[in-house]
Chain A
Amino acid sequence: MLGIKNHKARGSIVFLTAAVLIISSIFYLRQGSFPIEYSPHPNWDWVVLVLNYAILAYFLFVAIRDFAQRGISRHNILTVVLTLAAGIPLAIFEFSQAPHTPLEVVPTLYIDHLSVIMCLIVSIIGSLIAVYAIRYMKDHEEHRMHLGELKETTQPRFFFFMLIFLGAMNGLVFANNLIWLAFFWEVTTLACYGLIRHDETPIAITNAFRALWMCLIGSVGFSLAIMFLWNSPLNTISLAAVIENGAPVLLLPIALLCLAGLTKAAQVPFQSWLLGAMVAPTPVSALLHSSTMVNAGVYLVLRIAPAFQGTHLSTLIAIYGGAVFLITAILAISQSEGKKVLAYSTIGNLGLIILCAGINTSLAIAVGIMLLIFHAISKGLLFLCAGAIEHHIWSRDIEDMEGTATKLPVLTGITIAAMFSMLVAPFGVLITKWGAMEAATGIGVWSTLVLVLLMLGSGATTVFWAKWIGRLLCHSPMPGRAKREPLIPLYHGILLILIGCAVVFSILIASVYNGVIAPSLTEAGYNAASAFTTSAWFLKSSIGIFAAWPIFIIIALALLIPSLATKAKPEESHASYMCGENVEIGTDEFVAVADERTQLKTGGFYIENMLGEGNLNRFVVPIGVVLLVILFVLVVI
């Protein structure tokens, strides 16, 4: 991949890889008899071990090189320190505490329904993003060459990291040996670093290093967890064994693994790495936010949730998730850069998944997995939409997207549909919000706090989405329908596939639940029957009912009939009200002082002075740190 300079050849390879990944992931699902256990030859354990150190050595190398090139900075020092902090415990463990091949765990790979759900998300959504990137990167580089920022194509490296990423994610979700899991964890960090850095601008390099050291905090947690687990009475590095035995003996290593998950999922106070990652080309953001990286974090927390069921750790994780959900929703209101709004929304939704893992009932875990699926589809889609719009208007600012509805009607239509799929009934994300509210009801005195955080966050979420939809639609009165933009297969085609997935899976939510979520609950030791009971047309929890199909049909009718049947006739169109000072009908100008024709300008509310990052981050980061400290103090006690 690295050596291929020909655009067409590279595109075909990416396309073929994507096709193979999608087909094989579906083949896995159809495989039937889960869980599948598989252990490759023990020599592979050594290969993994050596490669793991090689990656850590590479991190040291890039940090020192950066030190040589750009001088000393917080980022490269932290990278060096944290790489050593992650590598040394691992080395102590491997070479002194566990001298005779502790690396073998039976099974090395363990594949159950949860792994397969993740594998499907990674392989299908991730591959679609990679295919989209073929076109995106071509446009991106042409634009940069035009601006004189770039002389020679760097796409080979880009797609190399992209495919490595997908591979590592698939490995990560199947691994049962913690050393293997830590290795794949490190590979995703590496790929993430490489992709954020891709444009090689100073800001890209800085942000890549920030992502690197923040994720390395998680790696430190991983290394320490492995050490503690090996030295615990359990004497194991098998994930399955940890989950089976669980708390309270292993609470500290479990909390360390959760910490690793929270850093990857960019939860507060680690959110800045994911926000910084926005500088990368948009397919990278789509990949990080929907199908890889952050999902690895919440996957790990959901995976080990049975191990901390019924502990204080669980309660605290729920409150922590709720706090993240609320904080990010409020921060998103003040953002005018589209991708940043999406990023905050991602962090918030992951917070919601963490909250579900913390509530830790069958219903909550079912909802958490459901949100993982629906969020991945909608968020991947939204980033790709943002990227496609960006390549038409060459801006990421929401204010510059004013009136794209008339300039790019198809693209904007899909974008708005995608936003609605994150926001309103009867789409999957809303069903999970409903489920989370029901799951948090009546499970203890502390659930009051979780519910308050959840409801306030949900209100703020509505505001930032609606505001953005409003900007996209906003345009001056014009007669007739907007002219359709030329359709680009690799943009519009991929977007249509994804919006199709969002709709179809929401309609078939009962089948999705019965097909993959209920079995994964059973495999994790939860009682699937106490989460949801389903028929073709409803989802029923023990305290509520979501009549999915009737709602879908009625809402579809309520929206589709007016949007198809009503058409404003040209003679019905009139100018907007400007106190009678309009210049003439058909323009958006008004008569200002001294009869001067003045263009009307409108803008969105961002409430920067109250809700801006500058204002709130003073509180947000300390809150996150304090919550995590409380979490660990309680665990140790």
Chain B
Amino acid sequence: MSTGWLIGSAVIAVIVAPLIGGLLRGIDRKLTAHMQGRIGPPIIQPFYDVIKLLGKKPMVAGGAQLVFAYAFLALIITAVVFFALRQDLLVVLFILFFGSLCLPIGALSVKSPYSQLGGHRELLQFLAYEPILLLAAIPIALKAGGFPITNIFEYGQPLLPNLWITFIALLIVLAIVMRKSPFDISGSEHAHQELVRGVLTEYSGPYLALIEIGHWYEMVLLLSILGLFWVVGSLWWLSIIIALGSWFIMLIVDNVTTRLTWSWMVKFAWGAGITLVALNILFINLGWM
């Protein structure tokens, strides 16, 4: 693909990703409401929310908090751009991690009980999913013959048949990144629990809007990585089905489970997630997959 095309697709990704993310968030709320026997807000409610937040008076509880709110969004957009430019998958992940790290660091920079609690828990979430996500890049690279995302497109075969074990592990990551039950330990959806809004407690107004938009980008990027498992051939549209299917599974899991402790989460993620990916790598190295 020519450079012009790539740059074009990066620009489109930056514009379209938050629209998709916001929309998915709206559908999420609607479906969840239906599952709970409620009617729920309109599908474009998340956009209304963000627009309203952006119009509010800025309030900060610490200088660094504000810098990290901007950096969170900017770095995640950077990761999306590098993904669209089909750069090295590990590099995309490292930039994404840097962005994701800005959220807890911003929360920890305020002397506030709930924000501190949420920030630390966010770091533990990070501890749970970062290794799985990094490790998942390895079997992909082994199959595609390299880490650059271009290689996956040039590979010519879908990855899923050989990498379905890794794919399952990535679903755990998706649940943690989308902050869905049972992994919503850092900032629960409902603000009347023991950690209030956790990592987000001290963010308000326009800065909260920045973080919300950042989360949309983050979710779309994660779903796109899942989509990479079937991007080639005449059935390329399956990648969209796979991504949306994974997203829907998260919704169901969210509604049938409840929040668990952080130590359970880390043990589960390291125990199940890492083992799955490691097995997949082992099978590939042994030539079985």
**Chain A residues in the interface with B (C-beta under 8 A):** 402-403, 405, 424-425, 430, 434, 437-438, 441-442, 444-445, 447-448, 451-452, 455-456, 458-460, 462-463, 466-467, 469-471, 473-477, 481-482, 542-547, 551, 554-555, 557-559, 561-563, 566, 568, 572-579, 588, 600, 602-605, 610
Contacts and interface: CB of A to CB of B under 8 A. Distances in A.
B113 interface: yes
Contacts of B131: 455-456, 458-459
Most buried by A among B66, B82, B105: B105
A425 B87 CA distance: 14
Nearest to A603: B116
A403 B112 CA distance: 13
Contacts of B63: 481-482, 568
Interface in B52-76: 57-64, 66-67, 69-71, 74-75
Given A470-B119, A555-B98, A572-B58, A562 B270 contact: no
B258 interface: no
A602 B108 CA distance: 10
B61 A574 contact: yes
Interface residues of B, number: 70
What are the nearest 7 A-B pairs in CB distance? A470-B108, A576-B112, A562-B70, A558-B74, A473-B109, A544-B147, A543-B146
B95 A466 contact: no
A561 B74 CA distance: 10
A428 to B, nearest CB: 13
Contact of A466 (B62, B91, B123, B285): B123
Given A455-B274, A547-B82, 6 more contacts: A462-B123, A462-B127, A469-B105, A470-B108, A558-B75, A577-B196
A281 B200 CA distance: 41
A474 B111 contact: yes
10 contacts: A456-B131, A462-B123, A466-B104, A474-B111, A475-B110, A476-B111, A547-B88, A551-B95, A562-B69, A566-B67
Contacts of A448: 278, 281-282, 285
Interface stretch (B36-44, B134-142, B180-188, B238-246): B134-142
Interface string B87-126: 1101100110110010011011111111110011001101
B135 A473 contact: no
B201 interface: yes
A441 B141 contact: yes
B145 interface: yes
Given A451-B135, A452-B278, A562-B67, A473 B108 contact: yes
B202 interface: yes
Contacts of A474: 62, 108-111, 116
Contacts of B286: 445
B108 A463 contact: no
Given A451-B138, A470-B109, A462 B126 contact: yes
B71 A559 contact: yes
B120 A424 contact: no
Interface string B200-222: 01100000000000000000000
Contact of B101 (A424, A471, A577): A424
A576 B95 contact: no
A403 B285 contact: no
Nearest to A481: B63
A437 to B, nearest CB: 6
Contacts of B75: 555, 558
A576 B114 CA distance: 9
Contacts of A604: 120
B263 interface: yes
A576 B202 contact: yes
Contacts of A481: 63
Contact of A588 (B60, B111, B263, B278): B111
Contact of A543 (B60, B71, B147): B147
